[in-house]
């Protein structure tokens, strides 16, 4: 191997190692979601009025998926169960049958908050289909269900931003 080729190989190795170290440094400098305060773009879980956790809409899609066809338009609504999300973050002692769960979202058309309160016994009952339907872009969730009175599009909670467990 000529000395010119050796120099090119050494330069290539230096560039690859330097690029890798630069990328690693960049990734480490990125601000991570805080576990102690609400972060923009996350779903915020509060328990008894106190901030508890940030949840990324993208990680919610890793939970078991459920689906149903809505009665209004016959379209499939699909996503993880709200019960599975809550079980992932809370202990069984924090979720009693009468524990209130309030899901708050934002209407895209008016910018107003929209919310729905259900009790844990209703949320965990799989036949009620209380699921977090994931948007096509995967960046937002809407709370949907087949519960009478909460089974039409105008009653569902779009752009879920907050989940309150217990006190409101």
Between CA 115 and CA 45 the distance in angstroms is 14
Q: How many Cα atoms are found within 13 Å in the side-chain-facing hemisphere of 75?
A: 9
Q: With pLDDT > 70 as the criterion, what percentage of the chain qualifies?
A: 89
End-to-end CA distance of the chain: 74
Model pTM score: 0.73
Q: What is the mean pLDDT of the chain?
A: 85
Mean pLDDT computed over 13-37: 68
**Residue 9 pLDDT greater than 80, yes or no:** yes
Mean pLDDT computed over 128-136: 89
Level-2 CATH architecture, domain 43-165: Alpha-Beta Complex (3.90)
Mean pLDDT computed over 110-133: 92
pLDDT of amino acid 28: 57
> Each residue of 47-100: pLDDT tens digit?
998 999 999 888 888 899 999 998 889 899 999 999 999 999 888 888 999 999
Between CA 163 and CA 57 the distance in angstroms is 13
The domain spans of the chain are: 1-30, 43-165
């Amino acid at each position: 191997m000529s000395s010119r080729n050796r120099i090119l190989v050494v330069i290539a190795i230096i560039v690859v190692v330097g690029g890798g170290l630069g990328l690693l440094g960049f990734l480490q400098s990125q601000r991570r979601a805080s576990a102690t305060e609400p972060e923009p773009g996350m779903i915020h879980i509060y328990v008894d009025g106190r901030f508890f956790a940030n949840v990324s809409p993208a990680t919610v899609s890793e939970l078991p998926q459920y689906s149903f066809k809505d009665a209004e338009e016959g379209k499939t609504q699909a996503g993880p169960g709200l019960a599975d999300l809550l079980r992932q973050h809370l202990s069984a002692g924090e979720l009693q049958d009468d524990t209130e769960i309030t899901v708050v979202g934002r209407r895209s058309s008016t910018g107003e908050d929209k919310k729905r309160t259900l009790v844990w016994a209703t949320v965990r009952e799989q036949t009620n289909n209380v699921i977090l339907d994931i948007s096509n872009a995967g960046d937002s969730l809407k709370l949907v269900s087949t519960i009478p009175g909460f089974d039409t599009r105008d009653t569902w909670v779009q752009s879920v931003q907050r989940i309150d467990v217990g006190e409101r």
